[in-house]
Amino acid sequence: MTVPTLLSPDVRSDRCGDCPIRYRAVCSHCEADQLAILDQMKSYRSYSAGDTLIWAGEPVSKLGSIVKGCASLTRTMEDGRRQMVGLLFPSDFLGRPGREASPYDVIAATDVTLCQFERESFETFLGATPQIGNRLLEMTLDELDAAREWMLLLGRKTAREKIASFLVILARRDALLNKKFPGDHAKFDMIISRESLADYLGLTIETTSRQISALKNEGIIRLTGKRMVEVPDFDRLLRESGEDA
């Protein structure tokens, strides 16, 4: 049962056929008849920035896709040290079939709209629909690649390279979303606070802030407001990130 009043303004209708993530989400390989079933099973739910969608270790009865917004996955140690272990963007899947609980907190980084399913009915459908399972495997392999890329960043990159690498990811995302070339002049929102960014990069807030200031002072990036970033020369930024071409 869908709840139209919970739709965010950007989600034009509650029918799967109109969904902005129709061709990228877990349902992307589904045929029309399978989609009709998902359409019946799904419901939308909205969260505000800062809300915790899932608490680490708590069993969760819902699974679903991010339709709009951005959520973070975070692990916290007893003494309070925190490490962000992933960022979820629209079309990314939330929750793991066959697993009751998540080993990390999931927190809305911005306002988030979720397309969610009951775990049980989704798992039944998954068992009967190989397209879903295949797509889920693809997406999980992509997440694994991203996680391992991030391990290299956390283990071996300097603070400056870490910041630059993060900005490269956002600039590429901006180019993709706005159908520009990756080399073009990019302008995008940093999405997360300095504190979250520090948690993502394995740094302190202070070091994070200092390195951003340094990149700004050297003209590699330009800041408008606290969160908007412009990248006049993408290749220069890329060189700072320690990546190969």
Question: Out of 223, 236, 242, 243, which residue is the one contacting DNA (CB under 7 A)?
Answer: 223
C-alpha R_g of the chain? 19
Residues 146, 147, 152, 154: is their CA dihedral positive or negative?
A: positive
Nearer to a copy of itself, 83 or 209 (CB): 83
Mark the segment that binds a copy of itself (CB under 8 A) among 3-11, 17-25, 74-82, 174-182.
74-82
| Binding status of residue 52 toward DNA by CB under 7 A | no
The 198-217 contact track toward DNA, x by CB under 7 A, reads: ----xxxxxxxxx-xx----
Measured CA to CA, the distance from residue 45 to residue 2 in angstroms comes to: 9
187 contact choice in a copy of itself, DNA, none (CB below 5 to 8 Å, kind-dependent): none
- For the CB of residue 232, give the shortest distance to DNA in the complex, in Å: 18
Measure the CA angle with vertex 56, ends 51 and 58; round to 5°: 95
User: Dihedral sign, CA of 68, 102, 52, 105?
Assistant: negative
**Beta carbon nearer to DNA, 39 or 243:** 243
When asked if residue 104 is in the footprint of a copy of itself (CB under 8 A), the reply is yes
In this structure, what DSSP letter does residue 2 have?
-
Could you tell me if 92 and 65 are in contact, meaning their C-beta atoms sit under 8 angstroms apart?
yes
Instruction: Give me the residues that bind DNA (CB under 7 A), please.
Output: 158-160, 193-195, 202-210, 212-213, 223, 225-227
